[in-house]
Structure 1
Amino acid sequence: MSADPRAVLTRPAPAPDRTVAYGDHPDQIADLRRPAGSGPARPLVVVVHGGFWRAEYDRRHTGPLAAALAADGYPVAQLEYRRTGQPGGGWPGTLTDALAGIAALPALVARALPGRVSGAAPILIGHSAGGHLALYAAATAPSTVGGVLALAPVADLAEAYRLDLDSGAVAALLGGGPGEVPDRYVAADPRSLVPMPTRTVVMHGSLDEQVPVSMSRDFVAAARTVGSDISLVELPGCEHFGLIDPESTAWPQVRDVLRSLHDDL
C-alpha cells in the first residue's frame, strides 16, 4: 500500500467507457465501465463515492476502485450526485439524487452496455458518506437495491453530528443538528431506519481516523437486534482509504465480500 493512504484520491485511472445522465443537472450522471471478458450478463455494481457529501470531492477518486472491479468482470457505474456547497446539494437534493440515480442506472447501463448487465437489482458499494447514501437507499427504496457493501459508512448521522465529523459535514448536509431539524434526521439517518431490508455487509478499518469504527459496531449491533441480515467485517490495521484502494492490503478482503454478495443475487 502507498505510504500516503490518501494517494488513491488522486491516482489516475483509465477513462470510463461511457457517461450517462439520470437527470438534467450536470452532476446527475454516472461513469460506466464495461466488464472485462465475454461472460454472461451480471448484476450491476453501483459505486457511491464519499467525501462527506461536499462539492470538492467527486466520483473521480473512485476511478481506481471502479477500474479494478471492471477488470474482475463486474459492470460498474460510478454515481455522481449534487453535494453540499453547490446549488441543489444538501437537503434534500443529495439524498434524492442518490435514490433517483440508483433507480435509473440498471436500465441506463443495460442500454449503454447491451448484454452485459442482468435484470437483478444492483449491489451498492458506498464509501464513507457514500456508505451513508447506500444504506439510506437500501432502507428507503429496497426494491431498487440487491445488496449493500458499506465501507466505513457514516451510519449514524446524529452521532456524526455530535462528533463534528469533518467540521460540520452533517449539519451542512441536513441544514442543522438533531435539535434543529429532527425530522430530517429521522428521515435520513440509517440508525433511525433499521431494520435494513436488504443483505448488507459493513467493512471498517480499526485505524480509521475519519469515521470511527465504533460507529459501525454500534450500527450493526442495533440493526441485528431488530432482525436485519447484516454483518460487520473489521479489518485490523486498516485506515479509512485502504478500503477503496486496489493496491492496499485490505483490497482482497473487500473483493471477496463483494463476490459473496454478488453470487447471492
Structure 2
Amino acid sequence: MTAAAPGSIPDPDSSLTDAELDTAYNVQRGVGDRLFGQLMARYRDESERAVAGLPGHAGLVHDERSGERLDVWGTDGGAPRPVFVFLHGGYWRALSRADSSFMARTLYDNGAATVVPDYTLAPHASLEEIVRQARAAVAWVHRHGRAHGLDPERIVVGGSSAGGHLTGMLMVDGWQRHFGLPEDVVKAAMPFSGLYDLRPMPRLYVNDWLHLDTERAAALSPLLLPATRHCPAVVTVAEHDGTGFLAQSRRFHARRPGAELRVVPGRNHYDVVLDLTDPASAVSTTLLELLHSV
C-alpha cells in the first residue's frame, strides 16, 4: 500500500455541516456529563485496583528528550512476558498512565505484561511530538524491556480514542528506522474507537488545542499513510460510539492488511475499553489471543 496524497482518498466528512461534524465526533456530549464523569473516575479506580500488589516497575523514563515516563506491570522475575503497550485517550489533552492500567491484572493472570506510557499533552506538545513520544515508548520496550521482564520480540500495541490514533501511527511504515528498530517491532495491534483520518479535526472544537491545518492533519492520519507489512490487528469500536468513530474504524479496517473489525455490542466510546477488566469478555479474550500468538 503506497502513501496517499491528502486528496487522493476522499474525505467523507467534508460534505458534513459543522453541526453534523460536531455530532459525529463530540462523544462526551453523546454520553452526557454525568456518565462521562463516572466513567473517568472508573478508569482511575479500576487502574488502582488492578495494580495493587502487582509486581512491576513504576515511573521509568522512556523518552530522554521529553522526560516522559511509563509504568511496567505484571512481571515477576520469570521468563520475559509478551507485552501490551496501551496508549491512553483523552483527545490528546487529558488523562494519564495513572488512569490507564485497568487491564494489568487480567493480563498478568494470563501470562502477559502491561506497559502504560505517558505523553506530553496538547497544547503543551504538538501532535507530531506526541506521536514521536508514543514511538519512543515502543523503542524503550524493545531496547530495555528484557531487563524489566518484557519480551521485546512480542510487543502488541493498543489504545483508546486518541490512543487509538497513536496505535494507528505505530502500525504504519517508515518510522521504525528513525529509532533503529526492526520494521516488525510491533507484532500486533488492538486500537479501540480510534481516529485514523484527522482531516475533520481542523473544523472541530479539538483544534482549539491541536492547532492543525489540513496538510498536517493529513500527514498525521494513519488511514492515509503506507502500511505494507501484514500486522495482525483487531480494530475495535463500540456499537454506541460516535458515528464518526464507527465510520473511521470501518474505513481503517478496510485499508489495513491483516486487520479484522470488532464492533462491541452494548458499549459506548468510553466503556468499551473497560471490558479489558473482565477476563471473560470478548475483548479480553481477543487481546490475550493476540498476545499469545505473536
| TMscore range, shorter length | 0.7 to 0.9
**Residues 25-104 of structure 1 correspond to what in structure 2 (within 5 A)?**
28-35=68-75, 40-54=79-93, 56-86=94-124, 89-104=125-140
Corresponding residue SS for 1:212: helix
- The Cα of 1:47 is off from its aligned counterpart by 0.9
Q: Please tell me whether Structure 1 or Structure 2 has the larger radius of gyration of its CA atoms.
A: 2
Runs (5+) with no aligned partner, structure 2: 1-34, 177-182
Distance 1:232 1:107, change over 3 A: same
User: Match for residue 25 of structure 2?
Assistant: none
Identical counterparts, % of pairs: 21
Distance 1:248 1:31 in 2: 18
CA–CA distance in structure 1, aligned partners of residues 238 and 42 of structure 2 = 16
Residue of structure 2 equivalent to 1:189:
221
Report the equivalent of 2:184. 143
**SS of 1:258 mapped into structure 2:** helix
Specify the SS of the correspondent of 1:149. strand
Partner of 2:32: none
CA distance in 2, matches of 1:60, 1:247: 16
Deviations 1:216-264 (A, max 9, x none): 112222x05xxx1111001121111222214877971111111221232
CA contact (8 A) 1:30 1:77 kept: yes
Partners of 1:99 and 1:247 in 2: CA distance: 23
CA 1:238/1:246 → structure 2, altered by over 3 Å: closer, same or farther?
closer
| Higher alpha-carbon deviation: 96-105 or 7-16 | 7-16
Shift of residue 188 of structure 1? 1.5
Cα distance change on mapping 1:83 and 1:243 into 2, 3 Å: same
Is residue 2:277 matched to residue 1:241? no
1:75-129 deviations in Å (ceiling 9; x for gaps): 111011112032xx1232111111111111133221123xxx3341410021111
What's the secondary structure of 1:176's corresponding residue? coil
Q: Answer yes or no: is 1:159 the counterpart of 2:196.
A: no
Contact 2:61 2:70 (C-alpha < 8 Å) held by counterparts: yes
Residues 263 and 71 (structure 1 numbering): CA distance in 2 closer, same or farther, change over 3 Å? closer
**Counterparts in 2 of 1:251 and 1:96: CA distance versus 1, 3 Å:** farther
Deviation at 1:50, TM superposition (A): 0.8
With normalisation by structure 1, the TM-score equals 0.80
Aligned-pair Cα RMSD in Å: 2.7
Residue 263 (structure 1) aligns with: 292
CA apart distance, 1:203 = 0.8
Could you say which residue in structure 1 is the equivalent of 2:282?
A: 253
Normalised TM-score (structure 2): 0.73
Equivalent pair of 2:158/2:189 in contact (CA under 8 Å): yes
Partner Cα separation in structure 2 for residue 217 and residue 98 of structure 1 = 24
Deviates more, 1:144-153 or 1:247-256: 247-256
Structure 1 CA distance, aligned partners of 2:162 and 2:119?
Answer: 12
More strand by share: 2
- Change in Cα spacing, 1:92 to 1:251, as seen in structure 2 (3 Å) is farther
2:43 to 1, 5, 9: 9
Q: Is the 8 A contact 2:85 2:138 kept in 1?
A: yes
Distance 1:52 1:219 in 2: 18
**Which position in structure 2 is the counterpart of 1:203?**
236
Higher relative contact order (CA 8 A, sep 6+): 2
CA shift, 1:157, in A, is 1.1
1:214-233 matched pairs, under 5 angstroms: 214-221=247-254, 223-224=255-256, 228-233=257-262
**Cα contact 1:156–1:190 (8 A) shared by 2:** yes
Residue 133 of structure 1, CA deviation: 0.6
Which residue of structure 1 lines up, in the alignment, with residue 15 of structure 2? none
Output the CA distance in 1 between the equivalents of 2:280 and 2:242: 18
8 Å Cα contact 2:75/2:148 also seen in 1: no
